[in-house]
Amino acid sequence: MGLSCLKKTSSSRPKWRVLTSYVVPWSSSEQLLDEPRVGRAKVIPYLSVTLMVAILTLMFWKIGYAFTLVNLALLYLLPVLVSAVRWGLGSAFYAAGIGVVAFDFFFVPPIHTFTVSDIRYFVSFAVYLAVAAFTASLAAELRKRVRDSRERESVTSALFALSNQVAAARDLDTVLGEIVGHASRTFGLATVIMLPDASGQLTARAQMGLTTVNGFTVVEPRVVSWVFEHGKMAGYGTNTHRNTSILYVPLKTESTVHGVMCIGTQRPLGKDNPHWHIRVVQALAGLAAVSIARVRYEEKAQIAHLTAESERLRTSLLDSISHELRTPLATIIGAVTGLIDGENFLSNADRQELLVTVREGAMRMNRLITNLLGMVRLESGMLQLNKKWCDVADIVGVALRQVKESLQNRKVEVNLQSSLPPAAVDEVLIEQVLVNLMSNAAKYSADGTTIELDVMEYDGVLTIRIRDYGIGIEADDAEKIFEKFYRTDTGKNVPGTGLGLAICKGIIQAHGGEIFARPGEKAGTVITIRLPVGDAPEPILETAEEFSHELID
Amino acid sequence: MGSGPGEHGLKRVPEAYKGAVLMGAKVLIIDDEVQIRKLLRVTLEAHGYSTMEASTGREGVLKTSMDIPDLLILDLGLPDMDGRDVLRQIREWATMPIIVLTVRDDEAGKVYALDNGADDYMTKPFGMSELMARIRVALRHIAQQPDEPIIQVGPLQIDLSRRVVEKNGEPIKLTPIEYDLLKALAINANRVMTHRQLLKQVWGEQGTETAGHYLRVYVGHLRKKIEDNAAQPNLLLTEPGVGYRLVDPN
The helix (H) or strand (E) run that includes residue A258 is: strand A256-264
In A, which residues are within 8 Å of B230 by CB distance? 393
pLDDT top residue among B176 and A283: B176
Evaluate the CA torsion angle A130, A134, A139, A141 in order and state its sign: positive
User: Among B123, B173, B175, which would you mutate to test the A interface (most chain A Cβ atoms within 10 Å of its Cβ)?
Assistant: B175
Residue A21 has pLDDT above 60, yes or no: no
Q: Grade residue A536 by pLDDT with cuts at 50, 70 and 90.
A: low
Q: What is the pLDDT of residues A107-159, one digit of tens each?
A: 877 777 777 777 777 888 888 888 888 888 888 788 888 888 887 787 788 77
Q: What is the pLDDT of residue A7?
A: 42
pLDDT at A150: 84
Mean pLDDT by 10 residues, chain B (250 residues): 41 44 81 91 92 94 93 92 92 92 82 92 88 90 74 91 91 92 92 90 70 82 90 89 89
Summarize pLDDT for A146-201 with one digit per residue, the tens: 888 887 787 788 778 878 877 777 777 888 888 888 777 776 777 888 888 878 78
Q: Does the distance separating the beta carbons of A401 and B105 come in below 8 Å?
A: no
* pLDDT grade for A518, boundaries at 50, 70 and 90: very high
pLDDT tens track for A386-437: 888 888 888 999 999 889 888 889 999 999 888 888 888 998 899 999 999 9
B217–A544: do the CB atoms touch at under 8 Å? yes
Contact A412, A451 (CB under 8 A): yes
3-state secondary structure chain B: CCCCCCCHHHHCCCHHHCCCCCCCCEEEEECCCHHHHHHHHHHHHHCCCEEEEECCHHHHHHHHHHHCCCEEEEECCCCCCCHHHHHHHHHCCCCCCEEEEEECCCHHHHHHHHHCCCCEEEEECCCHHHHHHHHHHHHHHHHCCCCCCEEEECCEEEECCCCEEEECCEECCECHHHHHHHHHHHHCCCCEEEHHHHHHHHHCCCCCCCCHHHHHHHHHHHHHHHCCCCCCCCCEEEECCCEEEECCCC
Plot region of A216 (φ>0 → left; ψ -120 to 50 → alpha; else → beta): beta
Contact B233, B221 (CB under 8 A): no
**Of A194, A164, A167, nearest to A180 (Cα)?**
A194
Chain A residue whose CA is closest to B170: A553
Q: Are A235 and A281 in contact (CB under 8 A)?
A: no
The three-state secondary structure class of A457 is strand
Q: Which residues of B touch A425 (CB under 8 A)?
A: none
Nearest CA in chain B to A398: B238
A428 contacts B105? CB cut-off 8 A: yes
For residue A537, the chain B residues in CB contact (below 8 A) are 213
Q: Which residues, other chains included, contact A392 with Cβ-Cβ below 8 Å and sequence gap of 6+?
A: A416, A420, A422, A423, A425, A430, A455, A462, A464
Q: How far apart are CA A121 and CA A108, in angstroms?
A: 8
The shortest CB-CB distance from B173 to any of A391, A537, A552 is to: A552
DSSP state, residue A74: H
User: For residue B178, which residues of chain A lie inside 8 Å, CB to CB?
Assistant: 548
Is A397's CB within 8 Å of B241's CB? no
Per-residue model confidence (pLDDT) at position A265: 62
Instruction: Give the chain B residue whose CA is nearest to the CA of A365.
Output: B125
Query: Which has more confidence, A65 or A155?
Result: A155
Contact B240 A395 (CB under 8 A): yes
Q: What residue of A is the nearest CA neighbor of B175?
A: A551
A contacts of B212 (beta carbons < 8 Å): 388-389
A437 closest CA partner among A474, A476, A481 = A481
Amino acid at position A95, single letter: A
Domains of chain B from N-terminus onward? 8-143 (3.40.50.2300), 150-246 (1.10.10.10)
* Predicted TM-score (pTM) of this structure: 0.59
Task: For residue range A209-266, list pLDDT tens digits in order.
Answer: 654 444 445 677 788 888 888 888 887 777 777 777 778 888 888 778 888 888 776 5
Closest to A221 measured CA to CA, from A240, A235, A202, A206: A202
Mutate one of A430, A548, A549, A551 to test the B interface: name it (highest B CB count within 10 A). Answer: A548
Say whether A416 and B231 touch across the interface (CB within 8 A): yes
Q: Radius of gyration of chain B from Cα atoms?
A: 18
pLDDT in tens, A440-469: 999 999 999 999 999 999 988 999 999 999
Q: What angle do CA B68, B70, B75 make, to 5 degrees?
A: 90
Q: Cβ contacts of residue B109 below 8 Å, gap of 6+?
A: B76, B84, B102
Chain B hits for A391, Cβ within 8 Å? 216, 219-220
Phi first, then psi, for residue B98 (nearest 5°) are -125, 125
Options 3.30.70.1230, 3.30.565.10, 3.30.360.10, 3.30.930.10; CATH of A388-532? 3.30.565.10
Between strands B26-30 and B50-54, the pairing is: parallel
The answer to whether A193 and A288 have CB atoms below 8 angstroms apart is yes
Which of residues A54 and A277 earns the better pLDDT score?
Answer: A54
B212/chain A closest Cα distance in angstroms: 9
Min Cα–Cα distance to chain A from B190, Å: 16
For residue A26, pLDDT beyond 50: no
Query: Is there a contact between A398 and B230 if contact means CB atoms under 8 Å apart?
Result: no
Residue B173 to residue A549, Cβ atoms within 8 A: no
Bridge partner residues of A381 (DSSP): none
Q: Residue B157 phi/psi, 5° resolution?
A: -125, 125
Neighbouring C-beta atoms of residue A370, cutoff 10 Å: 18
Q: Which residue in A234, A223, A219, A203 sits closest to A265, CA to CA? A: A219
What is the rounded radius of gyration, in angstroms, for the C-alpha atoms of chain A? 44
> Tens digits of per-residue pLDDT, A328-348?
888 899 899 888 888 788 888
**Per-domain residue ranges for chain A?**
40-151, 322-379, 388-532
Indicate yes or no: CB of B238 within 8 angstroms of CB of A370: no
* Residue of chain B with shortest Cα separation from A389: B213
- A13's CB contacts (< 8 A; 6+ apart) are none
